[in-house]
């Protein structure tokens, strides 16, 4: 996108004061245009006014004054102010071509598929692994699946700390190289202990793309496009744990289970090569007086290699957050009440869906009357259901999130309020409850395959829609901490889900699947009623008091 005017010149650091005071949704208590103009800093405005952004150019004239508003860069159609304001540097990712931006988004989305895809290969192989290592499917789930999911969350926290110092690209590259090595280890593991160690290490290192995407999207795209692009990246890691049981289930039914991990390793190698040859560093230090203080090497190839391997990032580290700031940033964010509340809600929404993914293979493969008695082919085919559901959720979420954003801007006189993102949850939660109840009834009453497909599909549509809304809301509230937000949401969903497989199958066999899935749906509904309306009513107050 091209701006209509040049950005305001600035030599100030990011300690600039707020440009506009916090106001309520109707825009009361604004500063006078002259006062706003005197304090306005286009580089940091979107951070200091987190959760309340002036989007409409006409409203910008009222809030900032004609002089400042005339120098703001707008979207190509002239209807929206760009936040963050792009600089005049062609290397600023906000100024990249649409093709270059979307190609980088494609790379990080393909990479985001890998962690859960690798982790879920074990779901397709669960019966073959039990036979290979002479144990039960329950022990395979408890020892390998659950703990690899658990480590998926913690790996992202450490990746974010490194990205703050060295940039997105080198951390993404090295993490995927290491995760590929551990996946090859799973392929050739001679015993269960080795297999468990390799699978858990793969989970810890592979998860980096699942926290990189929010960084990359906000680095490249202006505010009004971010939710739509987050929808694409989020779709990647939500659909991935269903791809491997679907694809590998057909393979393991015909040939040795080790081939499934071999194919996963080939995909991992493909991701590594895409990052190495086509990945670009999206971190741009726009708050510095000179965003590129170190001279670039004369050779573009040398610069490309140095950026990929982290040499460029190591040179830039002295201009960025210190190690202390990088390590403690996540602790400085996590206790904020409005973030902690929505993380708890998302942990249950996503966590129970992870439980479904790890236990449905058991329900489907267990002989009747406890299960459906599906063959390996039948189980694999059933995993096509959530794949289609996530694609439907992506389409619905893309347009509904845009509609909510535009409606909020019109309703609030050209100003976007972060809490409006949460209206999407009102669509997701009823679908979630319906899906879980139908799925539970299908397992307990042995309803038709059509009922099982509808219940599972509706539940996954709800997860997709809700997760994008949560990512967008948290990002709007904490625009300086995209990495920490992404890491915490990733941790919340994995902590919410890794333990579900321990109790879901035994509970359903003892008391019935309707009770199991019904209680899980009730927990989500209760958290929704307690948290989402409260944030919509008091979110502005919480942002003003506990914002960063």
pLDDT tens, residue by residue, 257-266? 899 999 999 9
Residues in the chain: 548
pLDDT tens, residue by residue, 52-78? 889 999 998 988 888 888 889 998 888
**Confidence band for 183, pLDDT divided at 50, 70 and 90:** very high
Share of the chain above pLDDT 70, in %: 93
Peptide bond into 435 cis (omega under 30): no
Predicted confidence at residue 23, as pLDDT, reads 37
Mean pLDDT (the chain, rounded): 86
pLDDT tops 90 at residue 462: yes
Q: How many CB atoms lie within 10 A of CB 102?
A: 16
> 545: Cβ–Cβ under 8 A, 6 or more apart, which residues?
none
Predicted confidence at residue 178, as pLDDT, reads 96
User: Which whole-number Å values give the CA distances from 428 to 259, 271, 466, in the listed order?
Assistant: 38, 32, 6
DSSP 8-state class, residue 76: T
Report the first-to-last Cα separation within the chain, whole angstroms: 29
CA 60 to chain centre: 31
What gap in Å lies between CA 377 and CA 112, rounded to an integer? 27
Predicted confidence at residue 139, as pLDDT, reads 84
- Give the helix/strand (H/E) hosting 54: strand 52-54
Per DSSP, the three-state class of 80 is coil
Positive or negative torsion for Cα 63, 65, 70, 72: negative
Q: What is the mean pLDDT of residues 207-232?
A: 92
pLDDT tens, residue by residue, 413-443? 999 999 999 999 999 999 999 999 999 898 8
Predicted confidence at residue 266, as pLDDT, reads 96
Q: What is the mean pLDDT of residues 478-506?
A: 86
Are 337 and 476 within 8 A, CB to CB? no
CA 370 to chain centre: 36
Q: What is the mean pLDDT of residues 390-394?
A: 92
Tokens encoding 515: 């009770």
What gap in Å lies between CA 208 and CA 173, rounded to an integer? 9
Per DSSP, the three-state class of 67 is helix
Tokens encoding 388: 């289609």
Q: What is the mean pLDDT of residues 249-255?
A: 84
Residue located via tokens 């506990």: 546
Q: Name beta bridge partners: 81.
A: 74
> DSSP alpha helices (H): ranges in 49-145?
57-64, 66-70, 98-124, 126-132, 137-140
Tokens encoding 259: 């081939």
Triad 340, 343, 345: Cα angle to 5°: 115
Q: Which residue has the higher pLDDT, 33 or 241?
A: 241
What gap in Å lies between CA 221 and CA 288, rounded to an integer? 20
Positive or negative torsion for Cα 240, 356, 429, 393: positive
Predicted confidence at residue 197, as pLDDT, reads 92
Tokens encoding 79: 């209807």
pLDDT tens, residue by residue, 331-373? 999 999 999 999 999 999 998 988 787 778 777 877 777 677 8
Are 352 and 497 within 8 A, CB to CB? yes
What gap in Å lies between CA 494 and CA 486, rounded to an integer? 12
DSSP for 454-519, written as a single string: HHHHHHHHHHHHHHHHHHHHHHHH-TT-HHHHHHHHHHHHHHHHHTHHHHHHHHHHHH-HHHHHHH
What gap in Å lies between CA 344 and CA 47, rounded to an integer? 24
Predicted confidence at residue 167, as pLDDT, reads 93
Tokens encoding 495: 């902590």
**Predicted structure pTM score:** 0.87
What gap in Å lies between CA 401 and CA 404, rounded to an integer? 5
Predicted confidence at residue 8, as pLDDT, reads 38
pLDDT tens, residue by residue, 125-175? 888 888 888 888 778 877 887 788 888 889 999 999 999 999 999 999 999
Per DSSP, the three-state class of 263 is helix
Tokens encoding 266: 């080939």
């Amino acid at each position: 996108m091209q701006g209509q005017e040049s950005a305001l010149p600035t030599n100030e650091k990011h300690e600039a004061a707020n440009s506009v005071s916090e106001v309520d949704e109707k825009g009361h208590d604004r500063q006078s245009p002259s006062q706003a103009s005197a304090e306005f800093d286009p580089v940091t405005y979107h951070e200091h006014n987190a959760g309340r952004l002036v989007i409409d150019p006409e409203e910008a004239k009222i809030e900032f004054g004609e002089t400042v508003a005339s120098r703001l860069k707008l979207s190509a159609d002239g209807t929206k102010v760009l936040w963050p304001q792009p600089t005049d540097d062609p290397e600023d990712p906000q100024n990249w071509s649409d093709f270059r931006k979307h190609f980088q988004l494609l790379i990080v989305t393909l990479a985001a598929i890998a962690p859960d895809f690798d982790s879920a290969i074990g779901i397709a192989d669960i019966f073959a692994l039990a036979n290979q290592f002479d144990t039960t499917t329950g022990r395979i789930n408890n020892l390998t699946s659950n703990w690899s999911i658990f480590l998926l969350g913690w790996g992202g926290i450490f990746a974010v700390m490194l990205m703050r110092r060295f940039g997105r690209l080198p951390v993404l590259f090295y993490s995927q190289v290491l995760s590929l090595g551990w996946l090859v280890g799973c392929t050739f593991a001679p015993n269960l202990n080795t297999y468990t160690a390799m699978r858990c290490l793969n989970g810890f290192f592979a998860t980096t793309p699942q926290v990189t995407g929010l960084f990359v999207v906000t680095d490249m795209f202006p505010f009004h496009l971010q939710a739509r692009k987050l929808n694409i990246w989020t779709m990647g890691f939500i659909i991935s744990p269903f791809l491997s049981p679907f694809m590998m289930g057909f393979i393991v039914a015909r040939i040795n289970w080790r081939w499934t991990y071999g194919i996963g390793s080939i995909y991992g190698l493909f991701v590594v090569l895409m990052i190495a040859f086509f990945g670009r560093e999206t971190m741009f230090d726009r708050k510095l007086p000179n965003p590129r203080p170190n001279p670039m090497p004369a050779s573009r190839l040398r610069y490309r290699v140095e950026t990929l391997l982290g040499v460029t990032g190591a040179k830039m580290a002295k201009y960025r957050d210190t190690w202390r700031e990088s390590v403690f940033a996540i602790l400085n964010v996590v206790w904020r009440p409005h973030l902690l509340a929505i993380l708890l809600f998302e942990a249950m929404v996503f966590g129970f869906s992870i439980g479904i993914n790890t236990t449905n293979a058991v329900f489907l493969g267990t002989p009747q009357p406890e299960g459906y008695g599906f063959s390996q082919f039948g189980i694999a085919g059933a995993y096509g259901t959530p794949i289609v559901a996530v694609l439907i959720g992506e389409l619905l979420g893309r347009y509904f999130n845009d509609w909510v954003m535009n409606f909020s801007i019109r309703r609030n006189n050209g100003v976007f309020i972060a809490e409006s993102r949460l209206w999407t949850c009102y669509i997701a939660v009823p679908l979630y409850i319906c899906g879980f109840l139908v799925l539970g009834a299908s397992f307990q009453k042995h309803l038709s395959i059509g009922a099982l497909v509808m219940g599972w599909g509706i539940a996954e549509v709800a997860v997709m829609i809700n997760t994008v809304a949560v990512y967008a809301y948290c990002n709007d509230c904490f625009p300086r901490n995209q990495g920490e937000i992404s890491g915490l949401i990733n941790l919340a969903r994995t902590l919410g889900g890794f333990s579900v497989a321990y109790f879901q199958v035994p509970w359903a066999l003892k008391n019935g699947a309707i009770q199991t899935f019904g209680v899980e749906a009730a927990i989500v509904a209760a958290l929704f009623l307690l948290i989402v309306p409260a944030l919509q009513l008091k979110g502005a107050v919480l942002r003003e008091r506990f914002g960063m």
